[in-house]
Chains A and B, each alone.
Chain A
């Protein structure tokens, strides 16, 4: 259909993102060393979410894609989150 715009992403940006991902990985390992109880999992998941966001936005080019593609990805994540919340309607109230 329409012509796509092509973005040339500088290597520098990719390297920044890579460093950020590695740093976050070490952080999520480090957090398990601190005694946080059940919050440990939440912490690790929080770091993982930030990493996912970075990968999607830069490595998978969402930043440069059309808004409807972004909307689709958000929608899919929303379903994923709702599914987990609903499952926990069972586990938390059993």
Chain B
């Protein structure tokens, strides 16, 4: 827990005891260090509803699409790495498909961006598409069991052992980022080939009937590593990962120096993923 946060909790706790109430303590803190982390590419109105939490970490990612175009095969490599270390099964059909990250066409990742006399090159670009780790995640709001929850570092994570498989979160996610285990991912197909090609014994497999998605590599962050896809793309500089609330982080630097867009900013989800097109 960083010191800012600890201070905040102290003040909040004290003021609650004193009967001043936590909101005023929150305001006190806000005044000193307002950093509009939610403002990027979000709808113009940034009133009460728009302001994002400014205490603590908020992990985010900048995706430089051009770099992916310059390095053919890089996107596929990111996908492959993510899916293999996370034991994501491959059922070989679209209906049962499970994916945490994939390369998508521009028109599908950004369906609300229409183009007139469109640049054909744009739709050839592989747009890396994954969970946005929204700051105001509708999936968390919808989940009836808290099996999907937001960590204090901004990561939207899942508890596979609590999930009841109601798929309410899938209806709620406006980005199609979630997948459901329609059948046993630990099983084999008719020819006896396992759905998980090579098992990574250090990461849990999931059971049938639960939802899953990109976890921003929490398990790697916990031991001081960067997300696997970011590591793969690091030599090309195509993915930049870090704390959006830290003004000195590489990702903050990147956001300040480039024009980036977010997916469906009008929905108020405040994605933590930013794209340089």
Decide if A and B are genuine partners.
no
Which B residues contact A (CB, under 8 angstroms)?
none
